[in-house]
Amino acid sequence: MIGMQVVLVVLGGYALVGLAFGVAFVARGAGRLDPVARGAPVRVRLLFLPGALALWPLLVVKWRGAREGERRGASS
């Protein structure tokens, strides 16, 4: 019983962090990673939210890499 509660708390925390990240990703990050998404309406970007919620660790790494690439490009 305790083991299942731990699993549910961990999954809930993962989903909560994913939701917070997903909202930020839909608002700003999707446009930085994909030029096509930059011009997409908000209702289309909202379709990215479930995937961002599930795959947020991978998207954090990709978004961070895109931001560092922009900084290197601007400083050159």
Residue 9 binned pLDDT confidence (cut-offs 50, 70, 90): very high
Return the minimum-mean-pLDDT range out of 3-7, 33-37, 52-56, 67-71: 67-71
In whole angstroms, what is the distance from residue 38 CA to residue 35 CA? 5
Q: What is the pLDDT of residue 76?
A: 53
The per-residue pLDDT for 33 is 87
* Whole-Å CA distances, 60 to 1, 17, 45, 65: 33, 11, 17, 9
The residue among 70, 27, 31, 34 whose CA lies nearest residue 49 is 27
Assign 29 a pLDDT band (cuts: 50, 70, 90): confident
Q: In the chain, where are the structural domains located?
A: 23-75
Give the pLDDT of residue 16.
Answer: 97
